[in-house]
A = this chain, B = another copy of it.
Amino acid sequence: MEIEVKAKIDDKERVVKALLSLGFTFLRKEFHEDIYFNGIDRDFKETDEALRVRDSNGKYFLTYKGPKLDKISKSREEIEVEVKDKEKMIKILEKLGFKKVRVIKKVREVYKLNDITACIDEVEGLGLFLELEKEGSLEDVEKLLNILDKLNLRNNIIRKSYLELLEEGIK
């Protein structure tokens, strides 16, 4: 399971410095173009699921996300498979009946400390966010919240996905 917390950032430089001083190291920069689809027999906005085709620096991924599992974090089941061709994957989804909802573009800086990944995302139309992620169980949420505390971002926590934020027009 994907344990995840997210917070809005105002001062990127401050957060990067704080991450590095906690022991995080910079891994890489990614350019994401994410195409989100809605369900065939159900509205993913209502069921809190997501289906996405991601183009990340020219590598392509099909991802399913299940409903969020608690009241504070963004933790949820996530199943992802790499696919060799983006356009064909999109075409198969459309033939099956899935409808494109929205394209979300962002630049992601990835930092790592042991099994915890920190992503600083600059999302087109939404601004800057920090995501903290690890594979684990819901008991790990507390670990990620502790890091948010150390970064002074506990009050900026956001449970909504970028898709939800964009769909709601919160810009």
Q: Which residues of A contact B (CB under 8 A)?
A: 39-42, 49, 51, 62-64, 66, 79-85, 88-89, 91-92, 95-97
Contact = CB atoms under 8 A, between A and B. Distances in A.
Contacts of A62: 83, 89, 92
Contact of A40 (B81, B83, B88, B97): B97
How many copies of this chain does one complex carry? 2
A40 B96 contact: yes
Contacts of A85: 81-82
Given A40-B41, A41-B41, A79 B92 contact: yes
A80 B51 CA distance: 19
Given A81-B88, A83-B83, 20 more contacts: A39-B97, A40-B41, A40-B96, A40-B97, A42-B97, A51-B96, A62-B83, A62-B89, A62-B92, A64-B91, A64-B92, A79-B88, A79-B91, A80-B88, A81-B83, A81-B85, A81-B92, A82-B83, A82-B84, A82-B85
B81 A89 contact: yes
Pairs of residues from A and B, 9 with the lowest C-beta to C-beta distance, nearest first: A82-B84, A81-B88, A40-B40, A64-B92, A81-B85, A64-B95, A81-B89, A40-B41, A79-B92
A92 B82 CA distance: 12
A89 B49 CA distance: 17
22 contacts: A39-B97, A40-B40, A40-B96, A40-B97, A41-B97, A49-B95, A62-B89, A62-B92, A63-B92, A64-B91, A64-B92, A64-B95, A64-B96, A79-B95, A81-B83, A81-B84, A81-B88, A81-B89, A81-B92, A82-B84, A82-B85, A83-B83
